[in-house]
Amino acid sequence: MIGAAVSTGREPLRLRFARLAARTVRTRTVQERPHAPLVSFTFDDIPATAAEHGASILETAGGRGTFYIAGSLVGTVEPERRLVTAEQCRNLHRSGHEIGCHTFAHRAVSDMAGPALTDDLARNAAFLDGVAPGVAPTSFAYPFNTTSLRAKRQLERHFASCRGGVSGINSGRIDLGFLRAVELADRCSNAEIVRGWIARTVAARGWLIFFSHGISENPEPYSCQPDLLRLAADEARAQGAAIVTMREGLAQVIGDRAVRPE
């Protein structure tokens, strides 16, 4: 997701309202079935360190993660981070991790709603199928945590779940078009905060979705150190929550009910 704080004082009021409406107007709500407390670990973009360190930490804890890939970023190097390679994506898939979609272009979906977004999603699907045949992502995460109602409705038709970055636990009636998620990054979290979120999730028997980017001793922007991810995974297990991918979590939350956009 990177760069979540995109709001500026110069943004026209109309656009600010549209963005707020897209986050808060629920367009694909569903009542959760009773389920065990769930914790998902998700990664956006993704930096290579998420594949190199994040995946193995989750595997050691007996879980798997969801990695939202934007095809245009794969194999690239930016000033502050090195992105995942196609081979690393393939290995994640082979190791049982979930590959999700994060658009191909890694642009705000509000700027692409309509045919351009359709084309972009098809391009990412083709790219990912080339990397890991049969991968067929059913989970989506919004780049920059931003959307519009039009784009949200469009994405809800493509994917079983769409994840945003507004903090909160998913419980009760949840919006599958904009699932809440809690950032796991050194700049905004620590062991105490993580324990608190997991404890509240267990008490509510809800679904907590963490999101991060890279996992490194020298974290890239919006990333965290391996110890914090390890603590979060261990704490989830210790408090009685199951570690699930987004696809697995959704199956527990809605079962085999077909959920259609409203």
Interface with Zn ion includes 183 (CB under 5 A)?
Answer: no
CB of 167 to Zn ion, least distance (A): 17
**Binding-site member from 45, 156, 175, 183 for Zn ion (CB under 5 A):** 45
**Binding-site member from 47, 65, 143, 219 for Zn ion (CB under 5 A):** 143
> Binding residues for Zn ion, how many (CB under 5 A)?
5
Residue number with CB closer to Zn ion (140 or 197)? 140
Residues in a beta bridge with 98: 66
Q: Residue 178: which residues within 8 A CB-CB, separation 6 or more?
A: 22, 23, 26, 142, 147, 152, 162, 163, 164, 166
**Phi and psi at residue 138, to the nearest 5°:** -120, 0
CB of 44 to Zn ion, least distance (A): 4
Q: Residue 150: exposed, middle, or buried by beta-carbon count in 10 A (0-12, 13-18, 19+)?
A: middle
Interface with Zn ion includes 63 (CB under 5 A)?
Answer: no
**Phi and psi at residue 36, to the nearest 5°:** -65, 155
**Binding-site member from 22, 35, 40, 44 for Zn ion (CB under 5 A):** 44
Interface with Zn ion includes 194 (CB under 5 A)?
Answer: no
Answer yes or no: are the C-beta atoms of 177 and 156 closer than 8 Å: yes
Interface with Zn ion includes 2 (CB under 5 A)?
Answer: yes
Residue number with CB closer to Zn ion (35 or 213)? 213
Residue number with CB closer to Zn ion (1 or 38)? 1
- CA 204/CA 220 separation, integer angstroms: 33
Which parts of this chain interact with Zn ion (CB under 5 A)? 1-2, 44-45, 143
